[in-house]
Structure 1
Amino acid sequence: MITKETVDRVIGFDGGELPVVSLYVGVCPDDGAALFTRINSLLHQIRPLAQDESIGRRARMSLRGDIDRLEHLRDLDAGRGRAGTLAVFSCSGQDLFEQVMLPRRIRDRVVVDGSAWTRPMLGVLDEYHRCCVVVTDRRSAVAWELFQDEMREIGKVEDTALRKPNYAGWYGLAEHGVRNRADDLARRHYRNTVHMITDLFRGGGHELLIIGGHPEEVPCMVEFLPRSLRERLAGTFAVDPRTATPADIRHSAEDIAERYEREEERRWVADVLERAAEGRPAAIGLDDCLWAGSVAAVQALLVQEGMTVPGVVCEESGWLAAAGDVCPLCGGPARPTPDVLGALAEAVIDEGGAVEHVVADTELKDHLVAAALRFPLPPRPERSAA
């Protein structure tokens, strides 16, 4: 599972004078030997560096160790049986070797640099919400992290509660005294639960909050949330914390997260269309969005999920288009690509923009792609023929 700790380790890693190898390779369950052929092809690009005497001996030895590790990815379980992209970050001289399985395919690539090249990884992960799911009653709470298709426990609170607050005789107290005591303990528990949630969100790793519990108790818990957490609350669900299984909790939380994501997609689409209608920087449709991606103008790209469109790419200038033989920016040849939308998404991620694949039924289906822009588009150059 992709954890915030893993991502933070990669982002914060400092190899000193030693290089870091960052490798991204697409995988699918039936890849077989083809996967390792592609890995070897990527490694072939960096093998000369391991022999380059213009860099220090320690750096060369570290690179050789990295290449040896990556050559043996076939022995590892990461990504086996799943489709997506395997991202690997290695610096053998400083004992770094992290693998992250990304949920969708991006272009194969390998980079050697002084730090891990994390932009493609972060660009993909930005498309998915990391949820904090809290299941609570009047005396206990368990927090889970839900991200992509996996869930793990990340926190727990256990407090004192009166087992039978409605039965005053059980405690030898007046009924109102027992009720008051039970309510005091419940309020203390909700405050302690809020402290736990606040600590979990303080690290910045979670985007959404989902709360489950008995229907009559969940609203009480929500009342104790500060404004900052209420703004993150994606929804609540009814469940018996004592009998619910992790699978039950995950199913309910996933339903809420999916509804939230679809609604967020609708808001994104509405915002971009409104920007375009008001004359603010925006691009609607394939041609304008490809040109926007070519000049690094895209701040946020919206792509209709499941759509692929053939087109062309210039590796030298980054020009993207639906058709053409020669790049109008540099005069170099343009290569065909079976999915120019995928190439556009990668270009946006590489330039620090956000990408959202839209599943919800919106007006985007009529345009396939739309974008909020950083600046108005410059005039488009004339295409030239081969």
Structure 2
Amino acid sequence: MTSHAQIDPIVQFGAEGLPVVSLYVGVEPDGSLKNEGEVRTRLNSLLDPVRSMDKDHSLDREARLSIRGDVERLARAYTEERWPAGMMALFSCSARNFFEEVSLPRSIRDRVVVDSTPWVRPMLAVLDEYHRMCVVITDDAIAQVWDLYLRELREVWQSRDPALRKPDYAYGRAEYGVRNKSGELAKRHYRRVVEVLTDRFRDGGFDVLAVGGHQHEVASFIEYLPRELRERVAGTFTVDANTATAGDVRRAAESVMEQYEQQEERGLVAGIAEAVAERRRAAFGLDTCLWAGTVSAIETLAVEEGVEQPGVVCDRDGWMSLAGEACALCGEPVRATTDVIDELVESVMDDGGSVRHIRFDTELRDHAVGARLRFPLPEKPAA
């Protein structure tokens, strides 16, 4: 499971002046030998320009040797490890004994970059689309904490604290004392669970929280959450902490996640629509958003899931349009593309913007794309 513990060392890695090779390569779902050969061919093709750097004497000897080691390590990576379908991001600096692989859930363009630091922006842009959910199931004595991320569920902590089996068995003054004792034990238990959740949240362990249990116990537990966690509660569900299976937890947690993401996506599109209506910094429609992407104006791009559109791109200055033979900015011939929306997505990620693929029914269906903008758009030149 992709985690902060895996991502953080990549983001923070320093090569101390040596080159780092960052490579992104797609892996199709088909596991046939033909597909394996196709992946290897693309991998080697991506590495060809890096191989030529081994003979670049403007680089010092240590850098050239490091790049040579990177190419060898990256070339054999697919053979040594069975990559899952999707996208693989690989980072290598052999002179510093640094090599990391990250499986991404969505495909982006194949490419390779050699720089002084790992090129992590595409990886982070993809991962930012997916929420990491912490799932806690609790009653007044039992607690289970799970991670749900990229549809993988993993139990990370569990506890069983002391509790009175039947706090209402006593009578008179004894009943009052027993109930007090039961309440104190439950408070102690809930506070312990909250400490675990708070530590995980502050360490970057999750974005949103789902709470399960019996209805009255869920309500009691939420009262103990500090505001920073209470604001992260995406939803609650009813389940018995003593008998819940991993399958029960998965079904309930995925239902909460689905509802949360639906609400979030609709909120994003509604916010863009409102800003467009009020003539604030936002845009609807492919033509306008392509121009916004060309001038690096997009802060957040919303894309209708599965939509494609042919168009043209200028590789010299990044101009994108639905049609044309020459770039409106430089006059150079343009390159035809089968999906200019994919080009726009890649451009936004390269510019440090975020991208959300909208799966649910929203106003975006009439526009294909929408965007929140960093600044008002300049006048678009005639094609």
1:53 CA drift (Å): 2.3
TM-score scaled by length of structure 2 = 0.95
Give matches, 1:275-286, under 5 Å: 275-286=275-286
8 Å Cα contact 2:142-2:242 kept in structure 1: no
What letter corresponds to residue 156 of structure 2 in structure 1?
A: I
Structure 1, unaligned stretches of length 5 or more?
Answer: none
8 Å Cα contact 1:140-1:159 kept in structure 2: yes
Matched, 1:215 2:207: no
Quote the Cα distance in structure 2 between the aligned partners of 1:70 and 1:26.
Answer: 14
1:173 CA drift (Å): 8.3
Q: 2:330 matched to which residue of 1? A: 330
Q: 1:115 matched to which residue of 2? A: 117
Quote the Cα distance in structure 2 between the aligned partners of 1:71 and 1:293.
Answer: 34
CA RMSD of aligned residues (A): 1.5
Q: 1:141 matched to which residue of 2? A: 143
Quote the Cα distance in structure 2 between the aligned partners of 1:60 and 1:150.
Answer: 40
Quote the Cα distance in structure 1 between the aligned partners of 2:57 and 2:327.
Answer: 37
Q: CA 1:176–1:103 in 2, change beyond 3 Å: closer, same or farther?
A: same
1:251 CA drift (Å): 1.6
Q: 2:101 matched to which residue of 1? A: 99
Matched, 1:175 2:175: yes
Match of 1:68 among 61, 67, 72: 72
What letter corresponds to residue 86 of structure 1 in structure 2?
A: M
Q: 1:19 matched to which residue of 2? A: 19
Give matches, 1:35-46, under 5 Å: 35-46=39-50
TM-score scaled by length of structure 1 = 0.95
Q: CA 1:58–1:247 in 2, change beyond 3 Å: closer, same or farther?
A: farther
Cα shift readout 1:282-326 (whole Å, capped 9, x = no counterpart): 111010000000000001111001111111111111111111111
1:29 CA drift (Å): 2.0
8 Å Cα contact 1:302-1:356 kept in structure 2: yes
Q: 1:57 matched to which residue of 2? A: 61
Q: What is the SS of the residue equivalent to 1:135?
A: strand
Give matches, 1:1-386, under 5 Å: 1-30=1-30, 31-80=35-84, 82=85, 84-168=86-170, 174-383=174-383
1:130 CA drift (Å): 0.8
1:242 CA drift (Å): 2.0
Quote the Cα distance in structure 2 between the aligned partners of 1:343 and 1:97.
Answer: 29
Cα shift readout 1:205-250 (whole Å, capped 9, x = no counterpart): 4210111112231111111111111111000111122222222211
Quote the Cα distance in structure 1 between the aligned partners of 2:93 and 2:184.
Answer: 54
8 Å Cα contact 1:78-1:99 kept in structure 2: no
Quote the Cα distance in structure 1 between the aligned partners of 2:162 and 2:313.
Answer: 64
8 Å Cα contact 1:25-1:86 kept in structure 2: yes
Quote the Cα distance in structure 2 between the aligned partners of 1:34 and 1:228.
Answer: 48
1:17 CA drift (Å): 2.1
What letter corresponds to residue 249 of structure 2 in structure 1?
A: I
What letter corresponds to residue 145 of structure 1 in structure 2?
A: D
Quote the Cα distance in structure 2 between the aligned partners of 1:330 and 1:26.
Answer: 32
Q: What is the SS of the residue equivalent to 1:260?
A: helix
Q: CA 1:166–1:252 in 2, change beyond 3 Å: closer, same or farther?
A: same
1:155 CA drift (Å): 2.9
Quote the Cα distance in structure 2 between the aligned partners of 1:375 and 1:265.
Answer: 22
What letter corresponds to residue 186 of structure 2 in structure 1?
A: A
Structure 2, unaligned stretches of length 5 or more?
Answer: none
